[in-house]
Amino acid sequence: MQFNLIGPFEIVADDGRRYAPNAPKISRMLALLALQPREAVATDLLIQELWGQSPPRSALRTLQTHVYHARRMFEDEQVTSPGRNLLVTKAPGYEARVGDDEVDVSTFEQYVRRARWEVDQGRLECAGDHLNRALALWRGPVLSSVPFGTVLAGRIARVEELRIRALEMRIEVESGLGRRRELLPDLRSLVEEFPLHEWFHGQLITGLYHAGRRAEALQAYRNLYQILKSELGLEPSSDLRRIQSEILNATGRDEPLRLRRRDQGQELRSSVASLPARLPSAYAS
């Protein structure tokens, strides 16, 4: 069975049937539990997610009722083999007794961690394979079909940020493999999806220039300039202004343009380092 949280929330039964609970609070409860597989989530945290800072007096009893209905749903829908308890009571609350490979977010995190390990070993092809598998899991915004509260919002923001880091690392890896030209369509999509992400814009600008498309590179810079001015009243960073100047003054014999940036994604290292350390021994660093 599988909990799919990336995109619309759904549960995939052992036989492949897909089921979406129609009770929003039960979906939110199960999503929060699935984001911490095999770890107890405190009842206070579950109540905060479902009712915010002003829960009713009956919140604990109502939560217990939601747990009961979730267990009945698993049984009635025959989500998994009889006798397997997916939702258990465990102090200080409840636990989703599922494996990392049964939650798409956990699988995504594992692929990203493996990719980081392969990059550190200098195996860019393997890193690229893991990143492609991770990003292929993306069916849309996390829990796009579920109205979530403040607790889930924080969890979702973390996963969405990790996706950005994975996209950055994929660009780094593909560039390291000499595939700058092949990245251009993806970079155009990324600057549309993340219009305020200057690093994606910078990669598109330098990629176009290195592909011999100087005019398009300058147009890409102008597009960024207009976006930042209209949205934030800012100009591009000094690094990108330097890149623009170098393109304008290029003679065709200049050294390749390079963006000055963090050491291959220091923020990515921090995000990946925060992931659960549940790798197979073959990937242990």
Tokens of 151: 């607790």
205 assigned to some structural domain: yes
Token pair listed for 179: 């595939």
Whether 203 maps to a domain, the answer reads yes
* Final residue in a domain of this structure, among 30, 64, 99: 99
Helix-helix angle 198-210:238-248, to 10 degrees: 20
DSSP 142: B
Q: In this structure, is residue 262 part of a structural domain?
A: no
pLDDT of residue 83: 87
Phi and psi for 213 in degrees, rounded to 5?
A: -115, 65
In a domain, residue 222? The reply is yes
What does pTM read for this prediction?
A: 0.86
Q: What is the pLDDT of residues 137-157, one digit of tens each?
A: 999 999 999 999 999 999 999
| Per-residue confidence (pLDDT) for residue 269, from 0 to 100 | 42
Burial 13-32 (b: 16+ CB within 10 A, else e): eeeeeeeebeeebbbbbbbb
DSSP codes joined into one string, 91-122? TTEEEE---GGGBHHHHHHHHHHHHHHHHHTT
Residue 269 placed within a domain: no
Of 57, 84, 99, which residue sits at a domain end? 99
Give the residue from 106, 117, 49 showing the smallest Cα distance to 281: 117
CATH number at residue 235: 1.25.40.10
Say what the pLDDT of residue 146 is. Answer: 93
CB 73 within 8 A of CB 21: yes
Give the pLDDT of residue 268.
41
The alpha carbon dihedral of 15, 21, 26, 28 has a sign of positive
Question: Concatenated DSSP letters for 29-80?
Answer: HHHHHHTSTTS-EEHHHHHHHHHTTS--TTHHHHHHHHHHHHHHHHHHTT-S
Among 49, 69, 99, where does a domain finish? 99
Residue 213: C-alpha distances to residues 181, 187, 224 (Å) = 11, 15, 17
- Give me the average pLDDT of each 10-residue run along the chain (285 residues): 96 95 94 96 98 96 97 94 94 96 97 97 97 97 95 97 97 95 97 97 96 96 98 96 93 58 43 42 34
What pLDDT digit, counting tens, does each position of 223-277 carry?
Answer: 999 999 999 999 999 999 999 999 999 865 455 566 654 444 444 444 444 444 4
Asked if 46 and 63 count as a contact pair (C-beta separation under 8 A), the reply is: yes
Residue 263 within any structural domain of the chain: no
Amino acid (1-letter code) at residue 132: N
Full residue range of the structural domain in which residue 33 is found: 2-99
Domain at 17, CATH number: 1.10.10.10
Q: What is the pLDDT of residue 250?
A: 83
Total number of domains constituting the chain: 2
In the numeric block, the tokens 């979406």 are attached to 20
